[in-house]
Structure 1
Amino acid sequence: MVIDGHCDVLYKLFSNKQLQFDAHGQDIILQAGLPRLIEGGVKLQFCAIFIDEDEVGTPTFRHVLEYVDIYDKQLLSQPMIHPVLSKADLSVMNEDGKLGTLLHIEGADALEGDLMLLRMVYRLGVRTMGLTWNYSNWAADGAVEPRQGGLTTKGRKFIRECERIGIILDVSHLSERAFWDLEKETKKPFFASHSNVYDICPHNRNLRRDQLQAILDRDGLVGLTFVPYFVKQDKDATIDDFLRHVDYVCALGGADKLAFGSDFDGFSQMIPGLEHAGHFVNLANELYKRYKPEEVEGFLFGNWHRFLSHNLPD
């Protein structure tokens, strides 16, 4: 059983209207399409709304609605898939032949700092939120923004409203200064959906030791990702290289706050043996060689489940 904290399958479906989430056999293209999720034992999949400015120009709320429409028509139309909106909905993981999905916004550009639009996406099913992608917007600077600024005034108001209505905040794409601004501004636990360890692979999208410690101290969660260039600098990454990041977070005392956010369908170069969601079994096999069974079960699903059961709305 697996919970995966990040994928871009909705982006692929948005960009190529010919793709089908449930395609089988020779037609399988998606890394996190339905057959691969079933093959990998995924019981809950986070699905990101990521609007690519290079593809559509300025992100608008209409783009968000298009994503939600795709989510409804391609995913929620499947009899086995159920949206996770509350703590009670996590029970879908206990049902044979059922799979939960959780809607996430990766970059809040299209919401324009409008708290009414934020409340609207909550009503549409969004339960987790990353303020930025890699660059700056009205809310904050992203991880690779050259000036490396922090939260704006609108951004601070926005995260307070997220906390009030029950949207959990994701720090994976924030600049370092914006991360610390959010840490000071928030009262509730927050998480990194798909980031790795900067000390092992010094990429701006990875987290420094003190950032990782801050997430753990807040009873948050660190979702390690399979993107090769976040795993190893020369990009020739292996599962063993990925496990160095697992070891590091565990050494910080984070074994019960560590999970995975694959980023499947969000990158093209793969770690051998982790090319799609059906390969979670390969990762599990390597983890069981190194860790206690209860720890591995925590990494794969238990830690995400605990975090969500504490922080999703009632």
Structure 2
Amino acid sequence: MFADAHNDTLTTAFSKGENLYKNSCQFDFERANKVDLKLQYMAIWQDTRQEGIDFLKNAFYFLDRINEYKINNVALSKKIEDGMINVLLSIEDISFINETYEIEVLKQRGVKSATLSWNHENKLCGGAYSDKGLTSIGQEVLKKLLEENFIIDLAHASKKTFFDVVKHLNKPFIVSHSNCFSLCPHPRNLTDEQIKIVRDFNGIIGINFYSPFVKDKGKANLNDVLRHIAYIAELIGTQYISFGSDFDGADEFPEDLRDVEDLPNIKVELGKLGFSEKEIENICYLNLVRFTEKFLK
């Protein structure tokens, strides 16, 4: 079985006029069922730098569309169901909200997780390509997200935002699709210090398959992805590792990790590296499931 902490298929497929059962994207429910993927975090991403757009209304559109499908929205059911694809919906860059009560509305519509930023600065904080930290408005939004039991995702946070946010946390958080800065010094990746903080909060790191986050120079391959898994396992243990594929959110992936049907390739190679069956099951599925269940009570 598999679980994945981040893809962008929801917005990508609907924006292309395609559906989620079967499409030309990197993920659909038909292929997910083939590889026994049981839990998928799906992001609603919008470019909040654009002006004159009702981003909240757009988010409602995507939420209404996905709730037409026969899936288990774990935020609404409060459980992970056997025999179904379980979906957890996330807002990637929630800076479009104007009032904190809108977080309650998003929650009622089935949203369970949020990032405060994308890559750029916004009114809440600095993104990955910024040195800005959490603003006073960002503190208010973060407080409301925590009150509503949202999963806080720091995948796109600047380093300063990361350290500012964790000062306000008393529960686990996720970095849904980032890798190790020590192996690939990209602003979207985590330093060893940040990785250890994720451990200290009993959080989760989703390994990103996007080639520029995996390998500094040249196109990454599957072995390069495995290096990031092995590095984190050595640094803090296997119980904090999941996948954060970034399928349909990027354009350059390793040869053997091009879409959801390739997930079993990781399982095979982890075994060759000497990871135990239990460790492999945890990385591929159970770590993210256990983390998610903490927020469904």
Q: Does structure 1 residue 48 correspond to structure 2 residue 43?
A: yes
Contact 1:36-1:276 at 8 Å conserved across structures: no
1:49 counterpart letter in structure 2: I
Contact 2:48-2:55 at 8 Å conserved across structures: no
- The equivalent of 2:129 in structure 1 is 144
d(CA) in 2 for partners of 1:57, 1:299 = 42
- The equivalent of 1:70 in structure 2 is 65
Contact 1:87-1:308 at 8 Å conserved across structures: no
Contact 1:51-1:59 at 8 Å conserved across structures: no
- The equivalent of 2:21 in structure 1 is 22
- The equivalent of 1:120 in structure 2 is 105
d(CA) in 2 for partners of 1:135, 1:252 = 29
1:117 counterpart letter in structure 2: E
Contact 1:160-1:186 at 8 Å conserved across structures: no
Identical positions, percent: 30
Q: CA deviation at 1:251?
A: 1.1
- The equivalent of 1:106 in structure 2 is 92
CA shift digits 1:17-73 (9 cap, x unpaired): 2x12122xxxx4011111221122210111101013577864521111122122223
Contact 2:93-2:117 at 8 Å conserved across structures: yes
Q: CA deviation at 1:8?
A: 0.4
2:72 pairs with 82, 85, 93, which one?
Answer: 82
Q: Does structure 1 residue 309 correspond to structure 2 residue 293?
A: yes
Instruction: Between 171-180 and 7-16, report the one with greater CA deviation.
Output: 7-16
Superposition pairs of residues 1-314 of structure 1, within 5 angstroms: 1-17=1-17, 19-23=18-22, 28-53=23-48, 58=53, 60-73=55-68, 77-78=69-70, 81-85=71-75, 88-90=78-80, 92=81, 94-95=82-83, 98-112=84-98, 114-145=99-130, 148-290=131-273, 291-310=275-294, 312-314=295-297
1:15 counterpart letter in structure 2: S
Contact 1:10-1:70 at 8 Å conserved across structures: no
Query: Which stretches of structure 1, 4 residues or longer, exceed 6 Å deviation after superposition?
Result: none
Structure 1's 239 and 163: CA in aligned 2 closer, same or farther, altered over 3 A?
same
d(CA) in 1 for partners of 2:51, 2:262 = 32
Q: CA deviation at 1:156?
A: 0.8
Contact 1:45-1:101 at 8 Å conserved across structures: yes
Q: CA RMSD in A?
A: 1.6
CA shift digits 1:76-109 (9 cap, x unpaired): x23xx2111168511x1x33xx111111010012
SS in 1 for 2:181: coil
Unaligned runs of 5+ in 1: none
Count of aligned pairs: 296
Contact 1:202-1:233 at 8 Å conserved across structures: yes
TM-score, L = length of structure 1: 0.90
Unaligned runs of 5+ in 2: none
Q: CA deviation at 1:277?
A: 0.5
CA shift digits 1:168-206 (9 cap, x unpaired): 100000000000000111111111000000010011000
